[in-house]
Structure 1
Amino acid sequence: MTVVLLAAAGWWLWARPAPSADGVVEVSVSACGRGWAGPQAGRQTLRLRNTGPVTAGAEVVDPATGAVFGEIEGLGAGATRALDITLGAGDYALRCLPDDADAVTGPVVHVTGGAPRPAPAIVPVTYADLLGPAKSYHAVIAAGLDSLAAQTDALAAAVRSGDRAAARAAWLTAHLTYERLGAAYGAFGDADAAINGTADGLPDGTADPGFTGFHRLESGLWRDEATSALAAVAQQLTDAVHRLGESFPDRQIDQLDLGVRAHEIMENALQSELTGHTDYGSGTGLATTLANLDGTVAVLDVLRPLLAGRLPALSQVDAQIGRARTAVASGQRADGSWVPVAQLPTALRERINGTVAELTEELAPIAAITAPRRSS
């Protein structure tokens, strides 16, 4: 993996050692960077060998700023691994990060000629940097769960009334609210399966007693199962939502999840909603995809202060979100209903899939940029 980050790490200017006999560069506390001599500009492969006693990581950095241009992780003692990297004109050093020991930065090597550095330096993210976004996102999810509880109560009441049309409308409202909470599912634990699980892997499929929540209710409402029989399913759903809402204040959202989910929410939409895999009769996969877009924006909004100086393509991501939203929304009929994914004209389906897939690619770097990095 090649990344560009800025780290506030100390460094020492050592005398340049002679190249190692077999052309490898050493990764260790006592000889970090030994063997890296005469570096050339352009694309190349460094052979890094861990000559220390413990597993270590290694990074090619700008010794003046700590900017990282390439890295490997989990290099076992005695192991050698290739690092493909492109170097422009400038100074570089190897930073060695042994497990359970302080980082060590090796001697400076100087590259002349060639193209400018391949990318600008990016300030690394620390766990402290993520505290504010995680707290803000926790508040977003707590508010969403409050709304969801009221909506599932209304859904249960509509099912009990026997008004199938009202129940279907209430189901969609509540389900889309849940689908907007995409980066918090890891904090929901078993509640996610109870609330929004599918029949995948269940012995009896949709008839299995373990099939509960939104999709179980969807299956019954759109396949004309008696509403009297579905009342217990709806009540079970709203009870699960209320329990989650009550316990959520004590739950922690993993700081690492924020950056990862920014990419995964739309990746899951592409694999599940836009294939029809999670459609149990409502045909609302496109509406769910729009809700997932909303969920992605919610994550980006709390991360935006961190991304603004680290992701030059942030405006491009925002523009692609707009294009994806326009494409997906074109599957809504004039009466407000949705065309099921399987019934979309081929050209429109390809356009929707293409724009969402491109957005997924645009979002992918956010996980690496917002991953807390060790610099000492």
Structure 2
Amino acid sequence: MFVVLAVALAGTLLAFSLGGPRHGRAAGAPSGHVVIDVSESHCGRGWTRPEPGVRTFDLHNSSDGAAEVYLEDPGSQAVYGEVEGIGPGTTRQLTVRLGQGTYAFKCVPDDGDAVTGPTVHITGGQRGPGAAPVSEHDLIPPALAYQKWVGTGLDQVVRLTTKLKDGIDQGDLAAARSAWLPAHLEYERLGAAYDAFGDADAAVNGTDAGLPGGVHDKGFAGFHRIEYGLWHGERAGGLRAPAAALVKAVTGLRDTWSQTRMDPAQLGLRAHEILENTVQFELTGRTDYGSGSNLATARANLDGTREVLSRLRPLLTTRYAGLAELQHELDRAGHTLDGFGHGASWTPLASLTRTQREDVNALLGDLVERLASVATLCDPRRTV
């Protein structure tokens, strides 16, 4: 799959695609484009007249295997643009703003060593910001710190879920409804760990999507199964088994978490995916089974995003010029969502005015775009 990774700093797009894939000879490049060879033997060849300003490069892979390409400062290794997944015989475009400095293309074949092309020097002009590459080794400390935090969070999930189960066991469904939201939100804050939870996440927080029997399917389990019963008049007797299964599932997660290993390379991506999923599932109401708490869940997801970013901050401070603005927008989104909370109750999505709905969608949609830059910056790059 062809992917262009855009390194966006301070609102400036450094690398982006100007169109779909083009096949055949790179010599057919539009006028003004610079054709760059992507191969182990001729990496970076073709850039004979380096000039400042916004420039488009046609990266033509003349080798017989896929490759990714970075445009970097060969001294500092700061990356100014990159393109992944350039197939053999395929041309992709990379547009960057060039200025005073030194540049070289680095070709990284899927099954070979990285090769750095000829160095070129540009005088004059203001180039776009670059970002030093992040290695998996750089990401290990923040991943370990985040994993420790998740372990503490799972302790709280077990405690709050047990309280939910106790209310159901005692037949006090009013108490169970009061206990459901705090337990669910505590789990939702652990968003970046979902991938590491594996199949257990479906048992804890799955929906009825894809189940033949829908909400009445035997495979429908976890928080949303209990939510559906609590807000659709189901008797306590029918909820005792799902509640017991939920407590068993979260207890199992907690007890095995110390042996689980999160992939450090995925931490930046998870910061982006948490709110991407929020927009897709919470702001559309697809995960509402009666409690009307989607906005509360969105607020918990926002907290979860902050937790990931707090661990990545040492890496982002020197790489992401838009970090302060991102934090400001996170604060703004949190303040907006808090306005829909009234003690233990939250305004349902359906009760928002059109303007309120548009504001929330715009705020979180903007954050998703900003967090895409975090995912790109924290994506480990091969340098050898």
State TM-score, norm by structure 1: 0.90
One-letter amino acid matched to 1:370: C
Q: Distance in 2 between matches of 1:4 and 1:227?
A: 52
Flag the 1:148–1:33 CA change in 2: closer, same or farther, 3 A: same
Q: How does 1:76-91 map to 2 (within 5 A)?
A: 76-91=87-102
| Range moving further from structure 2, 140-149 or 349-358 | 349-358
- Unaligned 5+ segments in structure 1 are 6-19
| Range moving further from structure 2, 55-64 or 261-270 | 55-64
Partner of 2:106: 95
One-letter amino acid matched to 2:128: P
How far did residue 56 of structure 1 move?
2.4
Partner of 2:17: none
Q: How does 1:194-343 map to 2 (within 5 A)?
A: 194-333=203-342, 335-343=343-351
How far did residue 2 of structure 1 move?
4.1
Flag the 1:147–1:29 CA change in 2: closer, same or farther, 3 A: same
Flag the 1:281–1:350 CA change in 2: closer, same or farther, 3 A: same
Q: How does 1:19-98 map to 2 (within 5 A)?
A: 24-98=35-109
Flag the 1:369–1:286 CA change in 2: closer, same or farther, 3 A: same
Q: How does 1:154-169 map to 2 (within 5 A)?
A: 154-169=163-178
One-letter amino acid matched to 1:33: G
Partner of 1:12: none
Q: Does the 8 Å contact 2:79/2:132 carry over to 1?
A: no
SS of structure 2 residue aligned to 1:44: strand
2:190 is equivalent to residue 181 of structure 1 = yes
One-letter amino acid matched to 1:117: R
Q: Distance in 2 between matches of 1:53 and 1:217?
A: 54
Q: Distance in 1 between matches of 2:27 and 2:160?
A: 70
One-letter amino acid matched to 1:372: P
Q: Distance in 2 between matches of 1:337 and 1:277?
A: 19
SS of structure 2 residue aligned to 1:364: helix
2:7 is equivalent to residue 3 of structure 1 = yes
Q: Does the 8 Å contact 2:61/2:91 carry over to 1?
A: yes
Q: Distance in 1 between matches of 2:346 and 2:7?
A: 41
Q: Distance in 2 between matches of 1:351 and 1:339?
A: 15
SS of structure 2 residue aligned to 1:146: helix
One-letter amino acid matched to 2:110: D
Q: Distance in 2 between matches of 1:156 and 1:31?
A: 65
One-letter amino acid matched to 2:351: Q
- Unaligned 5+ segments in structure 2 are 10-25, 29-33
How far did residue 35 of structure 1 move?
1.8
How far did residue 357 of structure 1 move?
1.7
One-letter amino acid matched to 1:289: A
| Range moving further from structure 2, 71-80 or 136-145 | 71-80
2:379 is equivalent to residue 374 of structure 1 = no
State TM-score, norm by structure 2: 0.88
Partner of 2:364: 356
Q: Which has the larger radius of gyration?
A: 1
Q: Does the 8 Å contact 2:340/2:347 carry over to 1?
A: yes
Q: Distance in 1 between matches of 2:65 and 2:290?
A: 55
Deviation per CA, 1:308-334: give whole Å up to 9, x if none.
Answer: 11112111111111111111111123x
Deviation per CA, 1:105-162: give whole Å up to 9, x if none.
Answer: 222223344x31112x322111111110111111111111111112111111110111
Partner of 1:146: 155
| Range moving further from structure 2, 94-103 or 363-372 | 94-103
SS of structure 2 residue aligned to 1:299: helix
SS of structure 1 residue aligned to 2:285: coil
Q: Distance in 2 between matches of 1:50 and 1:359?
A: 34
- State the superposition RMSD in angstroms: 2.0
Flag the 1:191–1:80 CA change in 2: closer, same or farther, 3 A: same
One-letter amino acid matched to 2:79: V
Query: How many residue pairs end up in the alignment?
Result: 359
